[in-house]
Amino acid sequence: MKTPYEEYKKSKHFMNPSGVRAECSSCHIPPGIGHKLVKKIKAINEIYSHFTGVLDTEEKYENQRARMAEKVWADMKASDSRECRSCHNQEGFVIAEFKNPKEAERMKKGLTEHLTCIECHKGVVHKMPDVSGGYKKLHEELKLSSTDPKIKADAVYPLNMVLCYNAKGGEREGRILAATRLTVLDKKGKWLKVRINGWRQDGVDAMIYELQGKRIFSTALDKAARAKPIVHSTMLDPDTEQTWHQVSYTTWVMTANMVEDRNKLWNYGEMMHNATCGTCHRAIRADHFLANQWIGVMKDMKRHIRQLDKEQYRFLQKYLQLHAKDVVKSGH
């Protein structure tokens, strides 16, 4: 218990302005004789693990940290954070006395939505584990399956950002972002001729967007290819007074990194969202914000999600945008 105990001594549960100290048992032994007996019985497995050396080194502890944390989080959520409530009385909260207005607003919102403590207060005592293993493993599985060029579907979706070309083995035309729908027109070996349907804002020729009026990036065109998309219709957005063009763009891509089932990409996105945004606090539902709002939200939280590389960051933003309130409501 040396590793978790040293973490506990650095937390506010050990040292704080009020001098009220929570003991290990305060969080890990539930109140009430019945719940306590059940916990003691389950602890037999922990005794066995102790004597068999399951966690007898710091390296072993770190390897098991994510598994143990997720189990504790699940147990506490199932019990409505019973252990937390043995010290913290919800009726005793004085929201007006919170020093940080944003924290006060989050607490007020959480109480209103009847969230349980552990949904927003993970990592208050012990170091947060790396819970990225799940979505990283799924990404590797998708990457492995996407190397097979035997594509039969009418449409495919890039797992990562891919390059597009003016012909099979031709000159580069631009970049297509992950999860963009590519309608397959022709297939020649490891090459696909595809069509992208989307929208362009008047005066912004470098970018094709997924939907009208929403900054959901689909394709970034190089300068030489910006005249290639075909305009099918034009409309004036009454809310922004911006002119938008509905376009289609035909290009060539390689079969590598293409996924035929978009739901598999969304499973990957959901796992990434929960692992990245659901460790420090409750993961905010994708349909809580509008598609364009997610860009600002992601920028505000970027400093807290450094475990994501640029490709993962772009994918997570697109996943959230394509499941945003206004996108889901419109039926896309």
pLDDT of residue 8: 87
* Length of the chain (residues): 332
Burial of 329 (0-12, 13-18, 19+ CB in 10 A): exposed
pLDDT of residue 279: 64
pLDDT above 90 covers what percent of the chain?
43
Q: Where are the alpha helices (DSSP H) in 101-154?
A: 101-112, 133-145
Q: How high does pLDDT run on average in the chain?
A: 89
What residues have CB less than 8 Å from 61, skipping those under 6 apart? Answer: 3, 4, 55
Write out the two tokens for 120. Answer: 């927003």
Quickly state the pLDDT bin for 162 (edges 50, 70, 90). Answer: very high
pLDDT of residue 239: 87
**pLDDT tens for residues 123-156?**
888 887 766 677 888 888 888 887 666 788 899 9
**pLDDT tens for residues 34-47?**
888 888 888 888 88
**pLDDT tens for residues 58-95?**
888 888 887 888 888 888 889 999 989 888 888 888 88
Flag whether pLDDT at 196 surpasses 90: yes
Domain ranges of the chain: 2-129, 149-259, 262-330
What residues have CB less than 8 Å from 222, skipping those under 6 apart? Answer: 172, 173, 174
pLDDT of residue 280: 63
pTM of the model: 0.72
pLDDT above 70 covers what percent of the chain?
96
Quickly state the pLDDT bin for 304 (edges 50, 70, 90). Answer: confident
Whole-number Å distance between alpha carbons of 246 and 200: 7
Whole-number Å distance between alpha carbons of 191 and 65: 44
DSSP, residue by residue, 179-238: T--EEEEEEETTEEEEEEEEEEETT-TTEEEEETTEEEEEEEE-GGGTT-SEEEEEEE-T
